[in-house]
Amino acid sequence: MNDNIAIYDHLIGENIIRQATDEEQEIINQERKINTEAREKRLLEAEAKAAQKAALLERLGISEDEARLFLS
């Protein structure tokens, strides 16, 4: 089943809601896939950065609060 597409017609002042064509649905699906992959990549990068930060703090033997105090 295809997603709905909402279009606002300024001439008549109404919203028109219709089902996406197969071509439109393919574009929607591609964009969803790209967005999902980008979101997953950002999440993995954030997790890696947090792990690096935790490892550094452990090597230094200080807490995150102590690091903040040291840098302020």
pTM of the full predicted structure? 0.67
DSSP symbol at 21: P
**Six-digit token string for 13:** 């002042």
Q: Structural domain tally of the chain?
A: 1
**Six-digit token string for 63:** 């807490």
71, pLDDT greater than 90: no
DSSP symbol at 10: T
1, pLDDT greater than 90: no
- Sign of the CA dihedral with 24 first, then 8, 38, and 1 last: negative
DSSP symbol at 17: E
- Structural domain including 58 reads 4-71
**Six-digit token string for 71:** 């840098």
How far apart CA 35 and CA 25 sit, in angstroms, is 15
pLDDT tens-place string over residues 14-52: 999 999 999 999 999 999 999 999 999 999 999 999 999
